[in-house]
């Protein structure tokens, strides 16, 4: 049997058996061999057998050297040397009495399991650790982090007063349905039972030994109520109402987890803003935030946009292009208006979520991807399932934590706060706009069918049309495109049609610019353009 003997600098740290299954090496927790150094890519390389020969395949942007040469792929054998970052892996034959990788049964992950929107309760799992050392009394800790370093150094999440424990002895990682224990090159080793291990998949409850200390751990389920935040702001989000402060608390609680989130709400309520805050408070905040509107991307190119394509995959594919799944690797992918996604693409999306890999259009290789998915919709997905327009299994897959964005008319107490916020942020340099009581009363009485987006656009239009800072009620520039009552002659519809035509004319037929000026979503404007048979530059 072959093994990889790994060393960092001049110090040999571990040995890794090479089995029939592919061996991925990298920094991410889903690798079979995890190296936590920052110069290692999340998925750096893969060792695999093909037709009886062993190959090393580079998966990184940082490069892989085989016997001193930079290679994207190379056949390897006993005696060959692979260098990734500061690590060197020698291909050797097995020897006895060395640390070995063992596999236990699949465990459950520390994660948000569900959210009861009606009772405002989150069900989650945390890990509870009990350390028994001869030089100190029992130490118990409950930790919500998905990465736990255990060692003698005080900076470790679990600091053990045992001189036989290394400064950074081992690491517990809890993610994607598994608990993994990894030795960090300790002097005296990490033992499960009588076996010294380098990396092992552990059960949901178990124990291991480091130095002279015994570490017991247990994943515990907790149910907690979401209490309103004391703050009226969360990043770029603003609101003093109870429903918004509850939303802030929910985002802060769910954000650090890996749970898939489905954000629902009317157009203009701030679904993308909530998605960005979930990303900002997460452990992926240093990674990319990639947003895509499934209803705005033309049907003939959305597959290529999401999955990417290889050169020559179709007419016009003159070069290889990574898709949005790959672009979101290490970060967050936000799919807005997911209810507009066609059924064949829903099937492919489900496969990506289950297998955590993507295949480009025209490609033959499955590319590993690691992203957190956040979806949003203003449609009733359950109704779409009954109409056979949305996959039921995909709905269950994305409906882990539902977040409902409230309509602005449901929280009128937030209107003055938002109006002042927009007036301050949109005003030209040197201006200090302020609202009279009459102006604030008129704003509070408006129905805001376009929600926060409509309020923002109303304030922006008002500031553009006045040259004074004291905003009176009559200064407010409302544009109401929501026609709910039909008169006998269709007068209201004709007024709406005429106004949209004027705006489109001013914007030279550009739908995106016109929708922004009108204060409505682009998809809403598209529907109205189709209804009134108007001509745009997008046609």
pLDDT of residue 1: 66
Cα separation values, 213 from 132, 154, 164, 183, Å: 6, 16, 9, 15
pLDDT of residue 491: 55
Range of weakest confidence among 6-15, 132-141, 233-242, 466-475 = 6-15
Q: Count of CB atoms within 10 A of residue 448's CB?
A: 27
Tokens standing for residue 263: 């954000």
What are the beta bridge partners of residue 69? Answer: 66
Angle at 319 between CA 315 and CA 324, to 5 degrees: 95
Residue 100 pLDDT class (50, 70, 90 cuts): very low
Read off the pLDDT of residues 153-173 as tens digits, 9 standing for 90 and up.
887 889 998 999 998 899 998
- Residue entry with tokens 């999440």: 157
Q: What's the whole-number mean pLDDT along residues 396-412?
A: 92
Tokens standing for residue 236: 């770029």
pLDDT of residue 176: 56
Read off the pLDDT of residues 352-392 as tens digits, 9 standing for 90 and up.
998 889 999 888 888 999 899 999 999 999 999 999 999 99
pLDDT of residue 52: 76
pLDDT of residue 487: 45
Average pLDDT, the chain: 85
SS3 call for 39: coil
Read off the pLDDT of residues 57-81 as tens digits, 9 standing for 90 and up.
999 888 899 988 889 999 998 888 9
Going by DSSP bridges, is the β-strand pair 23-26/45-50 parallel, antiparallel, or unpaired?
A: antiparallel
SS3 call for 194: coil
- Residue entry with tokens 């050297």: 65
Instruction: Give the side-chain half-sphere CA count within 13 A for 101.
Output: 18
List, in order, residues 6 or more apart from 336 with CB less than 8 Å away.
Answer: 271, 272, 291, 292, 293, 294, 295, 375, 376, 377
Does 38 have pLDDT greater than 80? no
Residue 489 pLDDT class (50, 70, 90 cuts): very low
pLDDT of residue 528: 82
Read off the pLDDT of residues 293-345 as tens digits, 9 standing for 90 and up.
998 887 778 888 899 888 887 777 778 888 899 999 989 999 999 999 999 99
Contact between 175 and 27 under an 8 Å Cβ cutoff? The reply is: no
Does 12 have pLDDT greater than 90? no
Residue 111 pLDDT class (50, 70, 90 cuts): low
Range of weakest confidence among 25-39, 176-190, 409-423, 479-493 = 479-493
SS3 call for 514: helix
- Residue entry with tokens 């672009």: 327
Q: If we measure between CA atoms, which residue out of 176, 173, 181 comes closest to residue 356? A: 176
Does 103 have pLDDT greater than 60? no
Question: What is the secondary structure of 137-200 as a DSSP string?
Answer: EEEEEEE--SEEEEESSTTSSEE---TTS-TT-EEEEEETTEEEEEE-S-SS-EEETTEEEEEE
C-alpha 483/C-alpha 491 separation (Å) is 10
């Amino acid at each position: 049997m072959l093994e990889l003997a790994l060393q960092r600098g001049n110090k040999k740290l571990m040995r890794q058996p090479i089995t029939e299954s592919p061996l991925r090496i990298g920094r991410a927790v889903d690798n079979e061999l995890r190296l936590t150094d920052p110069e290692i890519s999340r998925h750096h390389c893969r060792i695999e057998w093909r037709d009886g020969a062993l190959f090393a395949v580079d998966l990184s942007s940082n490069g892989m050297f085989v016997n001193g040469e930079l290679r994207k792929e190379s056949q390897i054998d006993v005696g060959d040397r692979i260098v990734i970052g500061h690590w060197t892996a020698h291909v050797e034959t097995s020897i006895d009495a060395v640390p070995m990788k063992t596999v236990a049964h699949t465990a459950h992950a520390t994660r948000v399991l569900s959210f009861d929107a009606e009772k405002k309760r989150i069900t989650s799992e945390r890990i509870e650790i009990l350390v028994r050392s001869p030089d100190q009394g029992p130490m118990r800790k409950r930790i919500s982090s998905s990465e736990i370093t255990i060692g003698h150094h005080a900076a470790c999440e679990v600091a053990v007063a045992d001189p036989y424990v290394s400064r950074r002895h081992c690491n517990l990682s809890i993610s994607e349905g598994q608990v993994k224990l990894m030795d960090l090159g300790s002097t005296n080793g990490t033992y499960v039972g009588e076996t010294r291990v380098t990396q092992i998949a552990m059960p949901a409850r178990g124990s291991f030994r480091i130095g002279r200390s015994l570490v017991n751990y247990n994943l515990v389920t907790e149910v907690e109520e979401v209490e309103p935040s004391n703050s009226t702001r969360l990043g770029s989000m603003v609101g003093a109402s109870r429903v918004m402060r509850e939303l802030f608390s929910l985002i802060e609680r769910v954000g650090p987890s890996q749970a898939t989130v489905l954000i629902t709400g009317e157009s203009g309520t701030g679904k993308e803003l909530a998605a960005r805050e979930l990303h900002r408070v997460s452990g992926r905040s240093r990674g990319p935030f990639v947003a895509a509107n499934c209803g705005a991307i033309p049907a003939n190119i959305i597959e290529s946009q999401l999955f990417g394509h290889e050169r020559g995959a179709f007419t016009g594919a003159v070069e290889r292009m990574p898709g949005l799944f790959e672009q979101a690797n290490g970060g967050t992918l936000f799919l807005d208006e997911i209810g507009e996604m066609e059924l064949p693409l829903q099937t492919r999306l489900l496969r990506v979520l289950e297998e955590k890999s993507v295949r480009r259009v025209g490609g033959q290789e499955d590319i590993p991807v690691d992203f957190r998915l956040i979806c949003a919709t203003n449609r009733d997905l359950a109704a779409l399932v009954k109409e056979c327009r949305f996959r039921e299994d995909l709905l269950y897959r994305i409906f882990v934590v539902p977040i409902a964005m409230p309509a602005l008319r449901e929280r009128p107490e937030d209107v003055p706060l938002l109006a002042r916020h927009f007036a301050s942020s949109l005003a030209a340099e040197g201006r200090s706009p302020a609202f009279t009581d009459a102006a604030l009363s008129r704003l509070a009485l408006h129905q805001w069918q376009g929600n926060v987006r409509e309020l923002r656009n109303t304030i922006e239009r008002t500031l553009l049309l006045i040259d004074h800072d004291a905003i009176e009620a009559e200064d407010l520039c409302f544009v109401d495109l929501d026609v709910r009552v039909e008169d006998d002659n269709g007068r209201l519809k004709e007024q709406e049609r005429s106004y949209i035509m004027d705006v489109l004319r001013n914007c030279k037929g550009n739908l995106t610019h016109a929708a922004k000026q009108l204060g409505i979503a682009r998809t809403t404007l598209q529907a109205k353009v189709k209804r009134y048979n108007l001509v745009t530059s997008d046609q």
